[in-house]
Amino acid sequence: MLSLKKYLTEGLLQFTILLSLIGVRVDVDTYLTSQLPPLREIILGPSSAYTQTQFHNLRNTLDGYGIHPKSIDLDNYFTARRLLSQVRALDRFQVPTTEVNAWLVHRDPEGSVSGSQPSSGLALESSSGLQDVTGTDNGVRESETEQGFSEDLEDLGAVAPPVSGDLTKEDIDLIDILWRQDIDLGAGREIFDYSHRQKEQDVDKELQDGAEQEDTWPGEGAEALARNLLVDGETGESFPAQFPADISSLTEAVPSESEPPGLQNNLLSPLLTGTESPFDLEQQWQDLMSIMEMQAMEVNTSTSEILYSAPPGDPLSANYSLAPNTPINQNVSLHQASLGGCSQDFSLFSPEVESLPVADSSTLLPLVPSNSTNLNSTFGSTNLAGLFFPPQLNGTANDTAGPELPDPLGGLLDEAMLDEISLMDLAIEEGFNPVQASQLEEEFDSDSGLSLDSSHSPSSLSSSEGSSSSSSSSSSSSSSSASSSFSEEGAVGYSSDSETLDLEEAEGAVGYQPEYSKFCRMSYQDPSPLSCLPYLEHVGHNHTYNMAPSALDSADLPPPSTLKKGSKEKQSDFLDKQMSRDEHRARAMKIPFTNDKIINLPVEEFNELLSKYQLSEAQLSLIRDIRRRGKNKMAAQNCRKRKLDTILNLERDVEDLQRDKARLLREKVEFLRSLRQMKQKVQSLYQEVFGRLRDENGRPYSPSQYALQYTGDGSVLLIPRALADQQARRQERKPKDRRK
């Protein structure tokens, strides 16, 4: 019962911290769970974060860290707090910029990820984002970028707004409204605008460079900003071809251009009429993997090199590069036209080909079925099932378009996409997760959620621990250094015990010296090797934390006798005020030894000490209280420090997760955009090829009766529609089974 309560409390606390920090619904598990099993623990909170014994044991096992259990490094403690506030500020700063960056740098496969820069990456992103939004049309720009990213997100089915951190509900609502407005406006830009994309690539490059060289950023940033704005002016409103605006553009286009003949209409229908099943998280990964496989195919294709003038790893930009018109190859096979060669074969749709659609997105629109809902569903979401499987299988295809050509594209895409890529491969390819995963795992494997590994803890935690250990070790080896170290790091509440000791010595406390020497031997005069690591002697009872200030200061510092009498009195007055209540009480009760000893002596020695004096009951009681309070005070300090450490670690982990999530979302948006483009190309190619086929009488085949089917060896078959449908159905079931 109690353990359950404890567990719940810990979990709730950490979960609350996580949620509050994230501020949004983070479907991190969606993206990471399969790669990072420990993330589950992270999200749910390390149950050991606050556990007592593990912390204790961890400190005492001294696995290479040498952290003194009682040593509290105040400097680092406060440093940690300062860093915490900075981190928080960063987090807030990150809010508006995450999506801005996602939009502007989304084509950069590596630059914006900046996996190895915990906070600087964010800062850079922030700066770039701000640079971009500080233009004249600040608000417009911002909303545009937000819209771009957020629509992408919506398209992904990511319900959560692309913002992180401390956004209020009003903020989210506002952003949401802006999205809607932009969606309604059909805003969009670059998709098929080659020149624009070129510019954008440049801008992206500069953004990349700027991110790497923060110093040089402002100047170049302004330049890039200017160009970017120009681009926006060109394309932002005029041509709704942008990926996120696909929904609106397509839906708008349908009513006006739905009259074209049924041939093209039917041909395209299978691809454009997908129904969106409820968004499946697993599906998202499936999508990503599929897309990546497609892109791998692209890269492997020879013709792709022509098109990939963009930086390597930037598949999207290449998709828009229109190859120079090439002679139409009547022998074109869909195999050659497969994904890798899409762009080149795109030239088939050059104006030379009059009877066939050209490679303009607008020309594809008339081919779209008049059923606009299908359109919406197809392009408006990320469920790729509609891309791979014939519409009739999705249950919403209209009857005319349904049986038309599910198989052709289904076969091609299915084969290309449905081979599984392990998530780990994906992760490695992105250069992210294995390392981070192990990091996170380590961090949360450590007891009590404390990061004792300095390599994992850039914050003050590690340094704090390190200095703590150094102070404790020095206390055992060198009295002078221990003295200075302790005074520097401030043994809270007991720093004035030295004066108490002085006073007591001055008062001539009888029998004190033997104890004192014994005490010293115990603590730091023991010449044995172990003395360097006093905690090895008393793993559970090392109480040198507060011992040093009094014992060492009094022993090593110039005695008050060296001071002038007046100043001595002043000092004693001053120190009187510095004394703790217990010290005053001890003085009042004429306790013959220092509070330090009372508190820090091991039990046996403490009892020994007590037995050597004739102490009244009141004195004994006070001594026990002093000991109890003193120990509890240190315990409270440790506890608070530990709590803070835990929060800091959690905060850092949340940051990491937010970064990862943003990056994954960006990547997904890119992949989906790429997929969409490829899909369109495949559609066009299909139409191209199918439209050129003639039967023995020289008449074109009816798409309602025949379909092209792609085989594994790259050949293309013309098969009856019914057969194609059958095979499509079979293929639909496979992936589903595979997923289970």
Partner DNA sequence: ACAACTTGTCATTCG
Partner DNA sequence: ACCGAATGACAAGTT
Q: Which positions lie near DNA, rule CB under 7 A?
A: 2-3, 6, 9, 50-53, 55-56, 59, 69-70, 74, 81, 448, 492-493, 540-541, 543, 580-582, 602-603, 606, 625, 627-640, 642-643
Which token pair is 106? 């989304």
Q: What is the DSSP letter of 564?
A: -
State how far the Cα of 587 lies from the Cα of 454, in Å rounded to an integer. 43
Q: Which of 544, 399, 405, 571 shows the shortest CA–CA distance to 485? A: 544
CB under 8 A, 24+ apart: contacts of 696-703:
700/263, 702/263, 703/262, 703/263, 703/266, 703/267, 703/404, 703/405
Write down the least CB distance from residue 621 to DNA, Å. 11
In single-letter form, the type of residue at position 272 comes to L
State how far the Cα of 235 lies from the Cα of 103, in Å rounded to an integer. 15
Count of positions (residues) in the chain:
740
Looking at the DSSP assignment, which residues form a beta bridge with residue 716? 710
Q: Which is nearer to DNA, 227 or 633 (CB)?
A: 633
Q: Which is nearer to DNA, 206 or 515 (CB)?
A: 515
Alpha helices in 105-166 (DSSP H): 120-133, 138-156
Write down the least CB distance from residue 449 to DNA, Å. 9
- What would the DSSP string read from start to end of 230-242? HHHHHHTTT---S
In contact, 691 and 700? CB cutoff 8 Å: yes
Write down the least CB distance from residue 605 to DNA, Å. 9
Q: Which is nearer to DNA, 634 or 672 (CB)?
A: 634
State how far the Cα of 677 lies from the Cα of 592, in Å rounded to an integer. 86
Count CB atoms within 10 A of the CB of residue 298: 24
Q: Which is nearer to DNA, 53 or 329 (CB)?
A: 53
State how far the Cα of 90 lies from the Cα of 21, in Å rounded to an integer. 12
Q: Which residue has the tokens 């593990």?
A: 54
Write down the least CB distance from residue 69 to DNA, Å. 6
| Positive or negative: CA dihedral 21, 24, 29, 31 | negative
Instruction: Look at residue 710 and give its three-state secondary structure.
Output: strand
Q: Which is nearer to DNA, 513 or 621 (CB)?
A: 621
In contact, 274 and 70? CB cutoff 8 Å: no
Q: Which of 310, 308, 121 shows the shortest CA–CA distance to 200? A: 310
Write down the least CB distance from residue 68 to DNA, Å. 11
Contacts of 398 (CB under 8 A, 6+ apart): 269, 273, 369, 371, 374, 391
Q: Which of 152, 159, 251 shows the shortest CA–CA distance to 676? A: 152
Write down the least CB distance from residue 661 to DNA, Å. 28
Write down the least CB distance from residue 106 to DNA, Å. 37
In single-letter form, the type of residue at position 645 comes to D
Q: Which of 183, 194, 165, 193 shows the shortest CA–CA distance to 88? A: 165
Phi and psi at 708, nearest 5°, equal -90, 140
Write down the least CB distance from residue 631 to DNA, Å. 4
Write down the least CB distance from residue 582 to DNA, Å. 5
Q: Which is nearer to DNA, 78 or 194 (CB)?
A: 78
Q: Which is nearer to DNA, 477 or 607 (CB)?
A: 607
Q: Which is nearer to DNA, 419 or 608 (CB)?
A: 608
Q: Which is nearer to DNA, 518 or 541 (CB)?
A: 541
Q: Which is nearer to DNA, 424 or 636 (CB)?
A: 636
Write down the least CB distance from residue 115 to DNA, Å. 32
Write down the least CB distance from residue 579 to DNA, Å. 10
Q: Which is nearer to DNA, 8 or 177 (CB)?
A: 8
State how far the Cα of 169 lies from the Cα of 25, in Å rounded to an integer. 13
In single-letter form, the type of residue at position 47 comes to S
Write down the least CB distance from residue 52 to DNA, Å. 3
Q: Which of 560, 558, 559, 557 shows the shortest CA–CA distance to 571? A: 560
Q: Which is nearer to DNA, 8 or 159 (CB)?
A: 8
Q: Which is nearer to DNA, 541 or 729 (CB)?
A: 541
Q: What is the DSSP letter of 243?
A: G
CA angle 153, 154, 160 (to 5 degrees): 70
Write down the least CB distance from residue 632 to DNA, Å. 5
Which token pair is 241? 């071809």
Among left, alpha and beta (phi > 0; psi -120 to 50; other), residue 114 is left
Write down the least CB distance from residue 600 to DNA, Å. 9
Q: Which is nearer to DNA, 44 or 635 (CB)?
A: 635
Write down the least CB distance from residue 88 to DNA, Å. 11
Instruction: Look at residue 707 and give its three-state secondary structure.
Output: strand
Q: Which is nearer to DNA, 9 or 711 (CB)?
A: 9
Write down the least CB distance from residue 492 to DNA, Å. 4
Q: Which is nearer to DNA, 491 or 672 (CB)?
A: 491
Instruction: Look at residue 1 and give its three-state secondary structure.
Output: coil
Element (H, E) at 716: strand 716-720
State how far the Cα of 322 lies from the Cα of 343, in Å rounded to an integer. 6
Contacts of 526 (CB under 8 A, 6+ apart): 476, 537
Q: Which of 567, 539, 538, 556 shows the shortest CA–CA distance to 486? A: 556
Write down the least CB distance from residue 364 to DNA, Å. 57
